[in-house]
């Protein structure tokens, strides 16, 4: 049996919608783009959505729109996809890495406070694996210190905390629609905001510095081509129309994982926090190995699962330890929780169409591998 880590659901309706755009002759900057943006804004209950060609582009545009410039310090969790760090580096700003909270995959508020300096200009809040971070508290803290805020909800479309959807509390939220995300446009991303000025600037920056009422060959500030085609948006529009069904399916898969893993020793997993009425959008199913396991143990499990046909994910190597940062300015503390967490984390396959048989195979394979490691440890202890 082969079980991929992710598998996008593409229906016949999706295909018909894409073909319809191809036949229309309006492949870019057409009506389907605006329909998709309007539907995205309505789903998130924000005033504006601007669709672009990737989540990374969305992060770069958010930083530019908020006037983050060379030498400015931007606080972010080291436990995050490297795109966040890359976006900050692309603006020649300085990443300031902070730790995650114990028992969480998201940044700790007290670590943000400790990282503040007179050069701090912004905070990037990352909602890892679809688990909502405490954005409301972090945004309130940032406003007290006159800092800009960006929510990276690229893995968290549809997740909620205290009744507010991830990506909607900060100055700008960013989304991604790569094929492994909650919904896909093939390649694509978006920015969401309640600020008319920020939305207008993002639109201009993403379209070579043009403005909607200006001549096509008039450019009002340096920009780039971060546009997304109507072809992509047609796919996204169809998928967004059934997002509640998608989210409920993923919740069911996560509950099925929990039922199968609950009695398994050596692993813990995440769930909803009833204290803040959170809703996880389940980008993947992360499990955390017990502290007795090393990174070598985790990598062995990953390798053996792969050999058996199960694809799993070793998300994320801490950004502050990436070779790409050698020789570049950045700041960080000890980040002990980030390092411990990242070395023991393994993400299991999760997608809409995963079957009960596949779940049994994944969990049974994991249990067998853990038993093998436990038996080897016992034998080693007996010899010692």
pLDDT in tens, 140-154: 999 999 999 999 999
Give the pLDDT confidence score for residue 213 in this predicted structure: 77
Rounded average pLDDT over 155-173: 97
Domain 249-383, CATH class in plain words: alpha beta
Q: How far is 18 from 22, CA to CA, in rounded Å? A: 6
Give the pLDDT confidence score for residue 218 in this predicted structure: 81
pTM, to two decimals:
0.95
User: Is the pLDDT reported for residue 354 higher than 80?
Assistant: yes
Give the pLDDT confidence score for residue 273 in this predicted structure: 57
Assign domain 12-241 to its CATH architecture. 3-Layer(aba) Sandwich (3.40)
How sure is the predictor about 110, in pLDDT bands with cuts at 50, 70 and 90?
A: very high
User: Is the pLDDT reported for residue 276 higher than 70?
Assistant: no
Q: What percent of the chain has pLDDT over 90?
A: 89
How sure is the predictor about 238, in pLDDT bands with cuts at 50, 70 and 90?
A: very high
Where do you find CATH 3.90.1150.10 in the chain?
A: 249-383
Where do you find CATH 3.40.640.10 in the chain?
A: 12-241
């Amino acid at each position: 049996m082969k079980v991929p880590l992710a598998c996008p659901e593409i229906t016949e309706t999706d295909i018909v919608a894409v073909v319809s755009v191809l036949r229309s002759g309006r492949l870019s900057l057409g009506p389907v783009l605006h329909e998709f943006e309007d539907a995205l804004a309505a789903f998130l209950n924000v005033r504006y959505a601007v669709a672009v060609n990737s989540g990374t582009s969305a992060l770069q545009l958010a930083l530019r729109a908020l006037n983050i410039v060379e030498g400015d310090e931007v606080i972010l969790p080291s436990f995050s996809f490297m795109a966040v760090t890359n976006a900050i580096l692309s603006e020649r700003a300085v990443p300031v890495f902070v730790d995650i909270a114990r028992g969480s995959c998201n940044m700790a508020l007290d670590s943000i406070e400790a990282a503040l300096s007179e050069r701090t200009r912004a905070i990037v809040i990352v909602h890892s694996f679809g688990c909502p971070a405490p954005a409301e508290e972090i945004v309130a803290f940032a406003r007290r210190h006159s800092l800009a805020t960006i929510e990276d909800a690229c893995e968290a479309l549809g997740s909620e905390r205290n009744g507010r959807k991830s990506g909607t509390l900060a100055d700008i939220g960013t989304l991604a629609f790569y094929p492994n995300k909650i919904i896909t446009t093939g390649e694509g991303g978006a920015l969401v905001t309640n600020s008319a000025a920020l939305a207008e600037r993002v639109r201009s920056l993403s379209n070579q510095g043009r403005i909607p009422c200006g001549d096509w060959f008039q450019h009002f500030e340096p920009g780039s081509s971060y546009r997304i085609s109507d072809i992509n948006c047609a796919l996204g529009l169809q998928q967004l129309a059934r997002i509640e069904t998608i989210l409920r399916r993923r919740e069911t898969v996560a509950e099925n994982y929990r039922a199968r893993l609950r009695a398994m020793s050596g692993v813990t997993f995440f769930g909803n926090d009833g204290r803040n009425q959170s809703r996880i959008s389940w980008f993947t199913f992360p499990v955390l190995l017990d502290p007795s396991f090393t990174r070598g143990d985790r990598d062995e499990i990953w390798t053996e699962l792969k050999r058996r046909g199960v694809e799993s994910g070793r998300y994320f190597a801490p950004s502050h330890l990436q070779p790409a940062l050698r020789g570049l300015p950045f700041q960080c503390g000890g980040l002990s929780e980030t390092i411990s967490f990242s070395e023991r984390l393994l993400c299991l396959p999760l997608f809409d169409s995963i079957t009960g048989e596949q779940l049994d195979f994944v969990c049974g394979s994991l249990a067998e591998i853990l038993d093998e490691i436990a038996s080897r440890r016992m034998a080693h202890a007996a010899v010692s």
